[in-house]
Amino acid sequence: MQGVDTMNLSSAISHFLNCYLGSFNNLTPHVATEEKPKKKNRRKNKGIFALIGGRDSLDSACEKYDIQKVSLLRSFCKCVGIQLLLREYVLDSKNKQAFHSEDVLNVFPIVKHIHPKATDAYHVFTSGQAKIQQGLLQEGYELVVEALNLLNNVYGAMHYEIASCARLLARLSYIMVDYGEALVYQQRAVLMSERVLGIDHPSTITEYAHLALYCFANNQIPIALKLMYRALYLALLCTGENHPEIALFYCNIGLMVQAESDFDLSLKYLTKALELNSKFFGPKSLKCALNYHLIARTYLCKGDFRSALHSEKESYSIYKLLLGESHERTHESSECLKHLTNQAVKFQKTVNMLQKGEKITNMPSLQVCYNRPEDIEKFRDEMLKQQIVQKLRSSSEVAATTTTTDNNNNNNNDNKKKKMNDNNNNNNDNNKGNNSDNNNNGLDVKEHEKPIGSAVKNTSLAEAIPLD
């Protein structure tokens, strides 16, 4: 491009793209008479170009590694700074050229620069992340909100760091069961990511997936499906189907479609996710175990107990191999196997009785495991208890400091005898207070030792989408 005149730049770019991605063989660029070579180069097919060259080298590479030519075109244009006309390019046609000089609209310079950081907001944000890692979600939430306000004052309304703060606040709100607040913050993060980074940026695709999760939590299932289809389309455009994140998107769409009672379509997405996970992570990985469990649930909803038992046995074998028999997931998988076996026996007994022509007075109902609202309410109650315990501890510490300062001032003004008596009285009072505090702390520890996620034991969409 540097040795080409500005008038012929679009023709040179289109010719290179035809050679790079097109399938049309009769490519003859226009060359002036004084620029034509006088003799052929006899060292044509020697050196490294003889190994990597060839007309069908790119086609064979795309077939071998399952690469889309559209993804190669997109990455090349982003790296070089070329803007093409928005239309559908037929890259596999052998009868005509795919690119013309009119398709090249503009060429942009690619500039490398360092993004300046707001130091105060950065330190507050990192301290908030440290509090979150320690388990202090409310304190971390307040620090991230403070960092968001500082970033708004420094950068303005649109910046990618503000989008990251909004994304983290949405995650914290989702963990603290405030789904409406999580949806508001995530919508803000999606808008900023679209404006600042672009529609087809990888961060924007993940923002779409997280927004779909929060819409699903707010019972907006059709909107969540549209967002997941949008994220899947952009991911397929950028990377193709041969990518680990595509398996995650397939799995999430399968769960959302399962909530809409379309079990056949859900099985298609979940089996495709299982194929990709076994390809990238191995057939005995934890992701494949989770996929087998989700497929077993879908078969259970359809009433196909034999297939459900087969999938759940695969999940149990992987959990037992990787985590051991004493792990919680292995125990849950064994309980699910028992449940499926009991349901299959009951179902087969009723079928046999119907085939014999016997009358059935009480038809046994099939029990399907869903996430119950009582479990979600228990989860919310545990979160509220932990917040109340933290407030009580902080208030008791403040009260203890004020009482000690008052006692010290009174002791300095009294005599020695009064000092001894007052000290004895204060020691007795402090012992009583400490005993009561210890009793209260013992009750609080028992409540705090309850696992936060113990109420929600069933596999949900939150396990499929990682929020890291």
DSSP class per residue in 48-94: THHHH--TTHHHHHHHHHT--HHHHHHHHHHHHTEEE-SS---TT-S
CA atoms within 13 A on the CB side of 135: 8
Same domain, yes or no: 117 and 229 = yes
Look at residue 308 and tell me if it is in a domain. yes
Each residue's pLDDT tens digit, 42-94? 555 555 445 544 545 677 778 887 888 888 999 999 999 999 999 999 888 88
Q: What backbone phi and psi angles, to 5 degrees, belong to 84?
A: -105, 160
Q: What is the pLDDT of residue 65?
A: 79
User: 65: which 2 tokens?
Assistant: 């590694």
87-101, 272-286, 329-343, 395-409: the lowest-pLDDT one: 395-409
Q: Report d(CA 309, CA 344) in Å as an integer.
A: 9
Of residues 86 and 436, more confidently modeled: 86
Residue 214 phi/psi, 5° resolution?
Answer: -70, -35
Burial per residue of 440-453, b for 16 or more beta-carbon CB atoms within 10 angstroms, e otherwise: ebeebeeeeeeeee
Average pLDDT of the chain? 78
pTM above 0.85, yes or no: no
Residues 311 and 234 in one domain: no
Q: Which two tokens stand for residue 122?
A: 């950065």
One domain for residues 165 and 208: yes
Indicate whether 334 and 275 sit together in one domain: yes
Specify the amino acid at residue 232.
L
Q: Which pair of structure tokens corresponds to residue 4?
A: 């080409």
Q: Which of 141-145, 402-406, 458-462 has the highest mean pLDDT?
A: 141-145
Provide the residue count of the chain.
468
Tell me, yes or no, whether 408 lies in a domain. no
The answer to whether residue 78 is domain-embedded is yes
Question: Residue 101 gets which letter from DSSP?
Answer: G
- 143 domain-assigned: yes
Range of the domain at 171: 113-240
Alpha carbon distance 28, 22 (integer Å) = 13
Structural domain count, the chain: 3
Task: Show the beta-strand stretches assigned E in 43-161.
Answer: 82-84, 104-107
Three-state secondary structure readout of 114-142: CCCCCHHHHHHHHHHHHHHHHCCHHHHHH
* Separation of alpha carbons 189 and 311, rounded Å: 38
**Cα–Cα distance list, 91 to 22, 61, 69, 287 (Å):** 5, 15, 7, 36
Domain end marker among 356, 376, 394: 356
Determine the Cα–Cα distance for residues 313 and 333; give it in Å rounded to an integer: 8
Query: Residues 236, 193: contact at Cβ < 8 Å?
Result: no
* 192, 78: one domain: no
> Measuring CA to CA, which residue among 137, 133, 135 is closest to residue 177?
137
Residues 423, 431 contacting (CB under 8 angstroms):
no
Residue 274 lies in a domain: yes
pLDDT band at 440 (very low <50, low <70, confident <90, very high): very low
Q: Does pLDDT of 37 surpass 60?
A: no
Q: Do 367 and 301 touch, CB atoms closer than 8 A?
A: no
Per-residue pLDDT reduced to its tens digit, 107-121: 998 888 888 889 999
CATH number, domain with residue 156: 1.25.40.10
* d(C-alpha 374, C-alpha 418), whole Å: 59
Q: Is the pLDDT of residue 335 over 50?
A: yes
Cα dihedral value 286, 287, 289, 291, nearest 10: 170
Helix (H, G, I), strand (E, B) or coil at 264: helix
In terms of Cα–Cα distance, which of 182, 271, 73, 234 is closest to 467? Answer: 182
Q: Tell whether 387 is covered by a domain.
A: no
Q: Quick check: is 364 in a domain?
A: no
Q: What are phi and psi of 107, to 5 degrees?
A: -130, 125
Would you state the pLDDT for residue 39? 52
CA distances from residue 134 to 67, 131, 139, 451, 453 in whole angstroms, order as listed: 42, 5, 10, 15, 17
Which two three-digit tokens encode residue 1?
């491009």
Name the domain boundary from 308, 331, 356.
356
- Same-domain status, 91 and 181: no
Helix or strand run (H / E) with residue 258: helix 244-259
Residues 295, 348 within the same domain: yes
User: In this structure, what token pair is assigned to residue 209?
Assistant: 């997936």
CA–CA distance, 313 with 330 (Å, rounded to integer): 11
| pLDDT over threshold 90, residue 224 | yes
Asked if residues 383 and 177 have their Cβ atoms less than 8 Å apart, the reply is yes
Decide if pLDDT at 258 tops 90.
yes
Question: What is the pLDDT averaged over residues 175-192?
Answer: 95
Same domain, residue pair 146 and 236: yes
The reply to whether 384 falls in a domain is no
How far, in Å, CA of 155 to CA of 170, rounded? 20
Helix axes 202-217, 221-239, angle to 10 degrees: 160
CA neighbor of 366 nearest in space, from 315, 311, 302, 306: 302
Same domain, 164 and 230: yes
45 Cβ neighbours under 8 A, 6+ residues apart: 53
Percent of the chain past pLDDT 90, that is, above it, reads: 48
Weakest mean pLDDT among 10-14, 155-159, 304-308, 414-418: 414-418
CA gap 65, 249 in Å, rounded: 21
pLDDT at 430: 47
Other Cβ atoms within 10 Å of 26 Cβ, number: 8
